[in-house]
Amino acid sequence: MDAAEFRALWDGLSPIGRSKRGYERYSWTDADQQCRNWFRTQADKRGMEVETGRSGNIFAWWGSLSDGDAVLTGSHFDSVPHGGAFDGPLGIVSAFLAIDVLRRTGAKPRRPIGIVAFTEEEGGRFGVPCVGSRLMTGALDPDVARNLTDRDGITLAEAMEASAADPSILGVDRDRLANLGAFVELHIEQGRALDAEDAPVGVASAIWPHGRWRFTFTGEANHAGTTVMADRHDPMLTAAFMVLAARKEARIVGGIATVGRLDAEPGAANVIPGTVRAWLDARAPDEAVLGQIVDGIESKVVDRAERDRTRVAIEAESETPLVEFDAGLRDRIAELLGGVPILPTGAGHDAAVLAQHVPTAMLFVRNRTGVSHAPGEKADYEDCAAGADALAAVLRELAC
């Protein structure tokens, strides 16, 4: 397909949730409803049946899931705060376009083909990533999910109700899982490896093990203007030390570590904070290295807390082991596409969750700048068209 065909569909979706500061497409909001309506419209145009799964994910089917051994593709609509246009939606738009490619070449699937939009992949609203896929596969307890809160204290259950959805149905979706034979997620690349290899499309080998840890630093709130330095128990100092220690530990062993969120309480310029919370996101090529990073930060921070006369508590909010995608599927796809690059990634995806249950593969589309999770995230439309063609070829190979 050409770039114009890609844009004709893309341009109808991309204004939803866009602001001057990037995308703010959060689950169970108006923007989410508009995305779901767009999904329904596209499915209707193609005569595909739409259904909402127990986990709030939305599906469109060519053929019937109940025939079993289905091939599922898709991604998610939701964005991180001030995110980009492509992370997530590219996989859904490409899926509908791949169906169009198959149909105009007269393909007749022998296996049902489904398109999915998973909910709350980024954790941008409720803080926990891959809520939809983890609920579907039973990796997330529905009671825990219902009680997740956003920054305004609204629970996931309340947010679903406000969107006329029923939170009581949340739970593992065993029948659906049992009827899936494969999952393929197309996604914009979030680094520059394909650019370096001069390739518009690649195939994923693995997802680095990664996790999120909440550090809670506790000291003693006091007046910033009258408390002499020697009398302080200032947790902001320990938190600042942690930010710098995280970078150092990750660099030493070749992993990555980020503190993107830090909240001080009470958070006033003229008050020494009583509590500071900071979130560590760390990733590494293997689990031993990831453990080295987190342990290294912890031991240094515990020492520093003693000097600052503060306390530190560390809680793992999520930990995802190394995910190696199905090797047979990966090699079959790479060969089918003419020997495209095979590359690992540090980013988590619903595909990593599905891979625990179903043979799963990921296709990446080139990102020339590597920028992602930011308004500047961008793929060339020619590359997006090439991605949709590649996905069509994969679906034909697997399902037709």
Q: Looking at 17, 22, 63, 341, which residue binds a copy of itself (CB under 8 A)?
A: 22
* Bond into 266 cis (ω within 30): yes
Residues 57-76 contacting a copy of itself, CB under 8 A:
none
Q: Looking at 55, 137, 218, 345, which residue binds a copy of itself (CB under 8 A)?
A: 345
Q: Nearer Cβ to a copy of itself, position 21 or 110?
A: 21
Q: Could you tell me the CA-to-CA distances from 316 to 5, 129, 211, 279, 352 in Å, in that order?
A: 44, 13, 7, 10, 19
Residue-wise DSSP of 296-330: HHHHHHHHHHHHHT-EEEEEEEEEE--EEPPHHHH
Q: Looking at 197, 231, 306, 382, which residue binds a copy of itself (CB under 8 A)?
A: 231
In DSSP terms, which residues pair with 60 in a beta bridge? 50, 115
Q: How far is the CB of 129 from a copy of itself (least distance, A)?
A: 7
Q: Does 362 bind a copy of itself (CB under 8 A)?
A: no
Q: Looking at 311, 324, 346, 400, which residue binds a copy of itself (CB under 8 A)?
A: 346
Q: How far is the CB of 105 from a copy of itself (least distance, A)?
A: 34
> Which of 361, 93, 102 is CA-nearest to residue 207?
361
Q: Looking at 35, 221, 351, 392, which residue binds a copy of itself (CB under 8 A)?
A: 221
Q: Nearer Cβ to a copy of itself, position 160 or 193?
A: 193
Report d(CA 276, CA 263) in Å as an integer: 6
Q: Does 283 bind a copy of itself (CB under 8 A)?
A: yes
Q: Looking at 150, 281, 383, 389, which residue binds a copy of itself (CB under 8 A)?
A: 281
Q: Does 243 bind a copy of itself (CB under 8 A)?
A: yes
Q: Please report, as a single letter, which amino acid is at residue 172.
A: V
Q: How far is the CB of 124 from a copy of itself (least distance, A)?
A: 6
Helices 381-399 + 3-13 axis angle, to 10: 100
For a copy of itself, how many residues bind (rule: CB under 8 A)? 70
Residues 29-48 contacting a copy of itself, CB under 8 A:
none
Q: Nearer Cβ to a copy of itself, position 137 or 372?
A: 372
Q: Looking at 47, 153, 198, 223, which residue binds a copy of itself (CB under 8 A)?
A: 223
Report d(CA 117, CA 181) in Å as an integer: 18
Residues 151-210 contacting a copy of itself, CB under 8 A:
190-191, 208, 210
Pairing assessment for the beta strands 210-218 and 275-283 based on DSSP bridges: antiparallel
φ, ψ (nearest 5 deg) of residue 179:
-90, 0
Q: H helices within 182-309, ranges in order? A: 193-196, 235-253, 287-308
Q: Looking at 14, 33, 34, 222, which residue binds a copy of itself (CB under 8 A)?
A: 222
Q: Count the neighbouring beta carbons within 10 Å of the beta carbon of residue 270.
A: 7
Q: Please report, as a single letter, which amino acid is at residue 39.
A: F
Q: Does 372 bind a copy of itself (CB under 8 A)?
A: yes
Q: Does 250 bind a copy of itself (CB under 8 A)?
A: yes
Sign of the C-alpha dihedral computed for residues 320, 181, 384 and 8 taken in this order: negative
Look up residue 110 and give its DSSP letter: S
Three-state SS for 8?
Answer: helix
Q: Looking at 7, 18, 247, 300, which residue binds a copy of itself (CB under 8 A)?
A: 247
Q: How far is the CB of 201 from a copy of itself (least distance, A)?
A: 17
Report d(CA 378, CA 190) in Å as an integer: 10
Sign of the C-alpha dihedral computed for residues 79, 81, 84 and 87 taken in this order: negative
Q: Looking at 370, 378, 396, 400, which residue binds a copy of itself (CB under 8 A)?
A: 370
Residues 324-343 contacting a copy of itself, CB under 8 A:
none
Question: For 9, how many CA atoms within 13 A lie in the half-sphere containing its CB?
Answer: 27
The residue with tokens 């949730």 is 17
Q: Looking at 131, 236, 352, 361, which residue binds a copy of itself (CB under 8 A)?
A: 236
Q: Please report, as a single letter, which amino acid is at residue 391.
A: L
Q: Nearer Cβ to a copy of itself, position 70 or 257?
A: 257
Residues 77-106 contacting a copy of itself, CB under 8 A:
80-83, 87
Q: Does 306 bind a copy of itself (CB under 8 A)?
A: no
Q: Nearer Cβ to a copy of itself, position 4 or 269?
A: 269
Report d(CA 43, CA 185) in Å as an integer: 18
For binding to a copy of itself (CB under 8 A), which residues are involved?
A: 22, 80-83, 87, 122-124, 127, 129, 190-191, 208, 210, 212, 220-229, 231, 234, 236-237, 239-244, 247, 250-251, 256-262, 264-274, 279, 281, 283, 345-348, 370-375
